[in-house]
């Protein structure tokens, strides 16, 4: 069971991407995919939509899965493994979560749930690069998220021009020289197949 997190600051498009990506990964039922969403006052996922497409979804509230409710997260992963045994679990942490801590928390369910950690995908909202990186506290958080990423998706590229996309790419590249960077729009579908291929071919 491979755990893939879709991280990034509040409003950058995580939930919207998770829905598209999970469908793509599931490939009409060819693969089993579960979703875990950790929400603290964020826009909830429509559980009915998920259930209809044969996937499993768990919602964890009451704190952050990388700290306060890490144990609940680990238990939830174990439960998913026992009940559903999917190939992939897509995890949406809260906007303030730090990817390596989420990975650590996922490992806590470890041996029992036969968990392997897949790529940490971090979204970077192309519509507000300055806001995300230049403010003091937020800038530090977003910088840490970017540093922790295996894959950085410049999100909402449909809403900005190419120059703005390039500006975001340059900024995140400075912070993380190693991560794979791709352009994403969950509205047009751009980047979704590429992201799916990255996940399917990821070497654990």
CB of 174 to ligand GDP, least distance (A): 23
Does residue 15 touch Mg ion according to CB under 5 A? yes
Site string for Mg ion, 36-55 (x = CB under 5 A): ------x-------------
Residue 51, C-beta contacts closer than 8 angstroms, at least 6 positions apart: 57
87 contact, one of ligand GDP, Mg ion, none, CB 5-8 Å limit per kind: none
Contact characters 184-203, ligand GDP, x per CB under 6 A? -xxx----------------
* b/e per residue 51-88 (b: at least 16 CB within 10 A): eeeebbbbebeeebbbeebbebbbbbbbebbeeeebeb
Query: Smaller CB distance to ligand GDP: residue 91 or 115?
Result: 91
Give me the least distance between CB of 30 and ligand GDP, in Å please.
Answer: 25
- Interface residues for ligand GDP in 35-74 (CB under 6 A)? 42-43
User: Given the rule CB under 6 A, which residues bind ligand GDP?
Assistant: 8, 10-16, 42-43, 155-156, 158-159, 185-187
């Amino acid at each position: 069971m491979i755990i893939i997190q879709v991280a990034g600051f509040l409003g950058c498009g995580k939930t919207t991407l998770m829905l598209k990506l999970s469908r793509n990964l599931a490939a009409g039922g060819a693969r089993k995919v579960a979703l875990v969403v950790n929400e603290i006052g964020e826009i909830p996922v429509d559980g009915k939509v998920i259930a209809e497409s044969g996937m499993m979804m768990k919602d964890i509230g009451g704190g952050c899965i990388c700290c306060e409710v890490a144990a609940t997260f680990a238990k939830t992963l174990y439960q998913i493994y026992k009940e559903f045994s999917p190939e992939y679990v897509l995890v949406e942490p809260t906007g303030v979560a730090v990817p390596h801590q989420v990975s650590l928390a996922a490992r806590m369910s470890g041996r029992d749930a036969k968990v392997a950690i897949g790529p940490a995908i971090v979204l970077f909202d192309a519509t507000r690069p300055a806001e995300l990186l230049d403010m003091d506290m937020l800038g530090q958080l977003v910088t840490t998220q970017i540093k922790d990423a295996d894959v950085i998706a410049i999100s909402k590229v449909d809403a900005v021009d190419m120059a703005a996309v390039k500006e975001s790419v340059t900024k995140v590249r400075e912070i993380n020289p190693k991560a794979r960077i791709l352009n994403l729009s969950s509205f047009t579908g751009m980047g979704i197949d590429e992201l799916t291929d990255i996940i399917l071919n990821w070497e654990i």
